[in-house]
Amino acid sequence: MRTSIATVSLSGSLTEKLTAASRAGFDGVEIFENDLLASPLTPEEIRGRCADLGLTIDLYQPMRDIEAVPAEEFACNLRRARHKFELMRRLGADTVLVCSSVHPLAVDDDALAAEHLSQLADLAQDFGIRVAYEALAWGRHVSTYDHSWRIVEAVGHPALGTCLDSFHILSRGSDPKGIENIPGEKIFFLQLADAPLLAMDVLQWSRHYRCFPGQGGFDVAGLVRHVLHTGYDGPLSLEIFNDVFRQAEAGPTAVDAHRSLLVLKETVGLATPPAPVVPTGVAFAELVTPDAEPVSAVLGALGFARTARHRSKPVDLWELGEARVLVNTAGSARRDGTGLAAIGLESPDPAGAARRAEALLAPLLPRRRAPEDAPLDAVAAPDGTELFFCATDRPELPNWRADFVEVEHEAGPAGMHRVDHLALVQPWHHYDEATLFHRSVLGLHAQESVDVADPYGLMRSRAVTNPDGSVRIALSVGAAPTDDTVHAQHIALATDDVVAAARSYREAGGRLLPIPANYYDDLGARYEFADGELETYRELGILYDRDAHGEFRHCYTVTVGRVFFELVQRDGYRGYGAQNAPVRLAAQHVLRPGR
């Protein structure tokens, strides 16, 4: 089934939008009228540009406030429609979207609406054009898809059909099962959009918060299944109004958009890309730094030992139990200091994981490597973090550890045994894209998004995990493009005794993040602790939380460059300490350079 995207879904000029849609793999576009009006190209030139890019023009939109209006208004509407149909003939578009009227003079009269739409269809037919009538969720008198279909059915005109829009249907809570009562040939167009589940005015919801299928809370796949049962064989088209997308680069947004449709087609049985290969653990986290000494000091104080050196690159391997950190000084040109640049994910089938990624528009990254280096495949997450598909300690597959030569070292202390989770702060315009990427490409499950109070705004955070929790990645984003929190990433290390681990770290010269005394006063009011327990937490800067499953104790190192470490004792607890995040963020802001 063909794919299409409305030009309003992308940022930039019409030429930039068309180029981005073509490069991302779309078959066609909906031309949004404002994009055409603002373009220096003539309709004929736009038609030629689309043809050169391999794009069809599947829809011209929108035509507003046509039906059920006073006679003089309708006469003006027919005059306007004639001009638009002439333009569409020049453009090469054969279907126009007509939205249900919101005109203040429109009347609640289905018979009059049908009469007006019939006359419009007569005119459209003279130009070889079809009219797709859509119920806006905020339409003055027609606001549901079944109502718009009753009018279209009453007209019975071959040039008049309906346009179904998943946002308008699902935002009102309408039951999409009724779609199956509409003959497929009378569904002239299908527009798709997801959205977060919000309690707000539906018009504002639609204009600012739509997102690509799989990024929100609507059952878009379920709606599409109902449409397919009708025999509809037109394109799956995206119509997204989103403030963030309008400010992001058109190219990456178009790729994300097309990926969402590929996953949707897989979900409803229209496509069979390679199956997801869910990662089973974290092989390593790689830090890139211009100066290894500060981060090495933190790792050493945490109990890590430098165990090996890459045979051909300036990369050291540090280990503590099953937790492994690579320190790479090849990125000395980084201006923002130490950063988390790559994650190695244990995979039961690295080659299969790579095939899945490429099928979902995440091409393998080119790598410079010596002939003897392990041929590891990697893709880039939306924030630029490289994700490697690894098979550590499996002799039948390439092993990244074979690239390292062991160096003399002492065994580290017991306690911390693996990476509990990784936290990646996304660029402002990549948060929804990152969620879809990790769900679709990696097969991880996305938990509910939460808002976290920061001293300078709000952060949104959402964790993606595998079934047993051996891979946990917390994705977060600041409130605005200039939010300083974009500079903080972290690696959380599991320990069975956070108090002992914190003491050991501090005694080895490490600096723990100081937590305000007010936090502990409040903590003592909320929970009862054993004698001396709260005082110990206060001394070491340990934070505490509990849920229905157990308790959570954690503390933080101070930040080095763009990275800090978290020590985590998880006793049945399933969350990430979101209750404590505002305190942690405030404490980190106090220690920012220059404060």
The two tokens of residue 503 are 């003491």
* Final residue in a domain of this structure, among 201, 235, 267: 267
CA 559 vs CA 60, 89, 145, 458: distances in Å: 52, 61, 53, 20
What pLDDT shows up at residue 374? 81
Indicate whether 252 and 330 sit together in one domain. no
pLDDT of res. 456: 67
Instruction: Please report the pLDDT score of residue 481 as a whole number.
Output: 52
Q: How far apart are CA 98 and CA 317, in angstroms?
A: 62
Asked whether residue 178 falls in the same domain as residue 79, the answer is yes
Instruction: Output the pLDDT for position 143.
Output: 96
pLDDT band at 487; cut points 50, 70, 90: low
Q: Mind listing the pLDDT tens digit for each residue in 507-520? A: 999 999 999 999 99
Does some domain include residue 263? yes
Average pLDDT in the chain: 92
- Check residues 449 and 19 and name the one with the higher pLDDT: 19
Structural contact between residues 324 and 369, judged by C-beta atoms closer than 8 angstroms: no
From 213, 235, 267, give the residue that closes a domain: 267
- Say whether pLDDT at 314 is over 50: yes
273 within domain boundaries: no
Tell me: the pLDDT tens digits for 224-241? 999 999 999 999 999 999
Q: What is the pTM of this model?
A: 0.89
CA 153 to chain centre: 39
Q: Which of 350, 359, 337 is nearest to 290 (CA)?
A: 337
The predicted model gives 445-466 an average pLDDT of 83
For residue 296, the enclosing domain spans 291-364+374-406
- According to the model, what pLDDT value does residue 478 have? 63
Q: Which residues contact 89 (CB under 8 A, 6 or more apart)?
A: 127, 128, 129
Q: List the beta bridge partners of residue 187.
A: 162
Q: What is the pLDDT of residue 485?
A: 45
284: in domain: no
Quick one: 395 and 450 in the same domain?
no
Identify whether residues 90 and 156 lie together within a single domain. yes
242 and 378 in a single domain? The answer is no
pLDDT at 502: 96
Average pLDDT of the residues in 66-90: 97
Q: In whole angstroms, what is the distance from residue 522 CA to residue 301 CA?
A: 30
Q: Are residues 382 and 527 in the same domain?
A: no
> Which of the 8 DSSP states describes residue 211?
B
Residue 162: phi, psi to the nearest 5?
A: -115, 155
Residue 276 lies in a domain: no
Which tokens is 442 given?
A: 């990696």
Residue 438: which H helix or E strand, with range? helix 431-440
Predicted local distance difference test score (pLDDT) of residue 450: 84
Residue with more model confidence, 94 or 201: 94
Domain membership flag for residue 493: yes
Let me know whether 464 and 527 are in one domain: yes
Same domain, 357 and 447: no
Q: Are residues 384 and 435 in the same domain?
A: no
> Would residue 277 count as lying in a domain?
no
Question: Within a domain: residue 82?
Answer: yes
> Residue 363 has what DSSP assignment?
P
Closest CA to 437 of 251, 281, 255: 255
- Tally DSSP H helices, then E strands, for the chain: 17, 25
Structural domain contains residue 412: no
Same domain for 440 and 494, yes or no, is yes
Percent of the chain with pLDDT strictly greater than 90: 79
CATH of the domain at 129: 3.20.20.150
Indicate whether 541 and 474 sit together in one domain: yes
Q: What CATH number is given to the structural domain containing 385?
A: 3.10.180.10
Does residue 332 sit in the same domain as residue 451?
Answer: no
- For the chain, the domain total comes to 3
Whether 159 and 180 have beta carbons less than 8 Å apart is answered as: no
Return the DSSP state at 558: P
